[in-house]
């Protein structure tokens, strides 16, 4: 077993532990991004560099940004600026920053060394993945497209604000 794998796995488990014990959603998201980056490094050590890139782009990039955007959209108000100041104290970001730095150093080490993976690991090149994806799995790719379409339509339908059916005076009466 590689030392790089051990360090990345350790960081992944620690960051995930922090995610599930954090009370503040933004801090949890920060640690979740670190955890995903660590898993990406683990994927890199397992001879799947393309999957590592996809993990960073889609998970740590798209999905996490979507969730952060959503969380920030929910708590609008005057205290938002105060909150933001409180979120970004150095005590909060120093540990994820150190984790990220260690992961970056590890990734640079792996790339610069260009060494063969440990015994028992076979590299599957992206070309082979693409051949499989558009060969025997073609129907599954089409179904995934339909799934994403359903996701878009469902999110649009569910996220729509419904029109008010009551006049506001009546609504006040109902409340009291």
Partner 1 sequence: MNLHPTTAGLLLAGILFVLGLISVLIRRNIIFMLLSVEIMLNAAGLAFVVAASHWGQADGQVMFMFILAMAAAEVSVGLALILQLYHQLRSLDSDEASRMNG
User: Interface residues with partner 1 (CB under 8 A)?
Assistant: 1-2, 5-6, 9, 12-13, 16-17, 19-20, 25, 28-29, 32, 35-36, 39, 42-43, 46-48, 50-51, 54-55, 58-59, 62-63, 66-67, 70-71, 74, 117-124, 128-129, 131-133, 137, 140, 144, 147-148, 150-152, 154-159, 161
- CB-count burial class (<10 Å; 0-12, 13-18, 19+) for 137: middle
Least distance between partner 1 and beta carbon 99 (Å)? 15
Nearest approach, Cβ of residue 159 and partner 1 (Å): 4
Residues in the chain, overall count: 176
Decide whether 47 or 92 has the Cβ nearer to partner 1: 47
> Residue 97 or residue 154: which is nearer to partner 1 going by CB?
154
Nearest approach, Cβ of residue 90 and partner 1 (Å): 24
Q: Report, in Å, the least distance between residue 31 CB and partner 1.
A: 10
Give me the long-range contacts of 87-94 (CB less than 8 A, separation at least 24).
Answer: 87/24, 87/26, 87/27, 92/27, 92/30, 93/30
Q: Which is nearer to partner 1, 50 or 93 (CB)?
A: 50
**Smallest separation (angstroms) from partner 1 to the CB of 5:** 7
Half-sphere exposure of 114 (CA within 13 A, CB side): 1
Annotate 6-73 with DSSP letters as a single string. Answer: HHHHHHHHHHHHHHHH-SSHHHHHHHHHHHHHHHHHHHHHTT-HHHHHHIIIIIIIIIHHHHHHHHHH
Q: Which is nearer to partner 1, 76 or 90 (CB)?
A: 76
Of the two residues 35 and 107, which places its CB atom closer to partner 1 in the complex? Answer: 35
Count of CB atoms within 10 A of residue 106's CB? 21
Task: Give me the least distance between CB of 173 and partner 1, in Å please.
Answer: 20
């Amino acid at each position: 077993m590689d030392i790089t794998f051990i360090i990345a796995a350790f960081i992944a488990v620690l960051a995930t532990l922090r995610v599930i014990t954090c009370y503040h959603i933004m801090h949890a998201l920060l640690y979740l991004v670190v955890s995903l980056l660590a898993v990406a490094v683990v994927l890199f050590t397992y001879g799947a560099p393309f999957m590592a890139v996809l993990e960073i782009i889609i998970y740590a990039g798209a999905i996490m940004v979507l969730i952060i955007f959503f969380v920030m959209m929910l708590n609008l108000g005057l205290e938002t600026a105060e909150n933001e100041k409180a979120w970004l104290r150095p005590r909060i970001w120093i540990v994820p920053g150190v984790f990220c730095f260690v992961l970056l150093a590890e990734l640079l080490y792996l790339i610069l060394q260009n060494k063969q993976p440990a015994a028992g690991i076979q590299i599957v090149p992206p070309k082979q993945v693409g051949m499989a994806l558009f060969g025997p799995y073609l129907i599954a790719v089409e179904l995934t497209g339909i799934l994403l379409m359903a996701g878009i339509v469902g999110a649009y339908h569910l996220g729509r604000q419904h029109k008010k059916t009551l006049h506001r005076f009546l609504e006040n009466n109902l409340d009291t």
